[in-house]
Amino acid sequence: MKIVAAKKILKANDQLAAENRSLFDRAGVFAVNILGSPGCGKTTLIEAMIQAVRARVPTAVIEGDLAGTVDAERLAAQQVPVLQINTEGACHLDANMIAAAVRELPLDGVSLLLIENVGNLVCTAGFNLGEHLRIVLLSVPEGDDKLVKYPTIFQTAEAVIVTKYDLAPHFDFRLERVRDDLRRLGNDGPVFPISAKTGQGLGELLRWFAGRLPDRE
């Protein structure tokens, strides 16, 4: 019997991720890894990001799902290049999948690559894709205790976005607990409460996001 240690697998992934990032840098592409549970609003946020920057930042999307093309079709309606990765049971994207995807998704003329990871708060945390920015979504219906239960993914986030915040009055959800727990994890990144339905907080979030993009002038 042969045993392959998880550390060895992750090390190989990190090496591929470094190659991906080098490729993105040479191509002048800023890559964003967008993580969160199924149904937390990742695709809706990507639509808002595209609309916010499309006038000045040519954008492409890699969409990760176990199966189907529902979200990819939805994003293609935004008139941006979209490539679907069906993981066929794998609970996360990895650097090798991204390397294969960008061979099928030419980066010529693209400045921003938005990667919607598979809906998951566990597996996705450990796999670097070569991204420049990693953001994690947490929806109000999921509860405010997820940072305690799934610390790794929140420790590595450069921002936490609390979605469906218009539902907060109907749930026992404490935004300050999220902020406090994030600090206890040693992460001083921003927390943005937003509602795609009402528009609450979207402007502040999108201004922060646009400010993180490299100046392509």
62: Cβ–Cβ under 8 A, 6 or more apart, which residues?
82, 83, 85, 93, 98, 101, 102, 105, 113, 114, 115, 116
The string of pLDDT tens digits covering residues 19-32 is 999 999 999 999 99
The residue among 88 and 145 whose pLDDT is bigger is 145
* Domain-embedded: residue 34: yes
Euclidean distance between CA atoms 194 and 48, whole angstroms: 12
- The string over 143-161, giving b where at least 16 C-beta atoms fall within 10 Å of a residue's C-beta and e elsewhere, is ebebbeebbebbebbbbbb
- Whole-model pTM: value is 0.93
Tokens of 72: 């990819």
Euclidean distance between CA atoms 21 and 29, whole angstroms: 9
- The enclosing domain of 48 has a CATH number of 3.40.50.300
Per-residue pLDDT at 1: 56
Count of domains in the chain?
A: 1
* Domain-embedded: residue 1: no
Say if residue 62's pLDDT is above 70.
yes
* Domain-embedded: residue 131: yes
Q: What average pLDDT score do residues 107-134 get?
A: 95
Percent of the chain with pLDDT over 90: 86
* Domain-embedded: residue 217: no
Tokens of 26: 């040479």
Q: What average pLDDT score do residues 163-171 get?
A: 96
Per-residue pLDDT at 5: 56
Asked whether 175 and 162 are in contact (CB, 8 A), the reply is yes
Per-residue pLDDT at 23: 96
The string of pLDDT tens digits covering residues 29-55 is 999 999 999 999 999 999 999 999 988
Strand order in the sheet with 30-36: 82-86, 59-65, 112-116, 30-36, 133-139, 159-163, 191-193
* Domain-embedded: residue 165: yes
Per-residue pLDDT at 76: 94
Per-residue pLDDT at 81: 95
Euclidean distance between CA atoms 151 and 114, whole angstroms: 23
Residue 129 domain boundaries: 6-212
Average pLDDT, the chain: 93
Per-residue pLDDT at 2: 47
87: Cβ–Cβ under 8 A, 6 or more apart, which residues?
64, 65, 66, 93, 97, 118
